[in-house]
Amino acid sequence: MEDLLLAWFMEHGRDLPWRRTRDPYAILVSEVMSQQTQIERVLPRWQRWLERWPRVEELAVAPAADVIREWQGLGYNRRALSLHRAARHVAAHGWPDDLTELPGVGRYTADAVACFAFGRPVLPVDVNVRRISERTRHAFSPAAAQALMDLGKTVCLARIPRCGICPLAGACPSRWSRSEPSRRQGPFEGSFRQRRATALRAVVAGSQPEDAEAVASLAHDGLVRVDGERVALPD
């Protein structure tokens, strides 16, 4: 089954720039940016980020305010600070054996960097990899990681899998089965997340936001600092 998957991947795999490098920093940036963000939005921002801070040591010494400004438009701004803190950790101590020691790096991201950058024999399991493994009941190797991600993104979809064009359909016990809809995050419009984003954009633009609750939440996460009545980006 894995041979069929890899043959399909050779012809249909996505050509993503971070797949052409073994630089753990570049791969970490791509993984953090891609969390809950469409790849089409990530591609130009990843390139711009690496043009500005091409090495982890350069990101480590950048002001947090610049990092937050550069992140604008990608959403979930705490990811920017976590990535900044991870860069500082690496610059000071090197890459840890257990990558979950890095700020903001969970099990999947740690395994992705370990597999794609360091060549460790670990399969990073995201929602796409898990779905295909469960549907096919097959244990795939780390060599199939990127192929699994692409198949899950384009063919083995969650709600309506495209079994008619799937290279694994002939041996898949779940062929033509439909999954229950997964719980989706609430709408952004009108949410507290939107209020936070609006307040942070105001600070980035040099204005003073009026939403005290949103400002307090941003300050708790370290995304802004409050000096008296003035709200500013962190140093």
Residues annotated as catalytic (active site), given as ranges: 31
Tell me whether strands 230-232 and 225-227 are parallel, antiparallel or unpaired.
antiparallel
Name the nearest CA neighbour of 198 among 219, 218, 178.
Answer: 218
And the tokens for 18?
A: 């971070």
Integer Cα distance of 171 and 34 in angstroms: 31
Name the nearest CA neighbour of 209 among 190, 234, 229.
Answer: 229
Structural element, H or E, at residue 221: none
Integer Cα distance of 88 and 186 in angstroms: 33
**DSSP string for 60-127:** HTS-HHHHHHHHTTSS-THHHHHHHHHHHHHHHH---SSGGGSTT--HHHHHHHHHHTT--S-----H
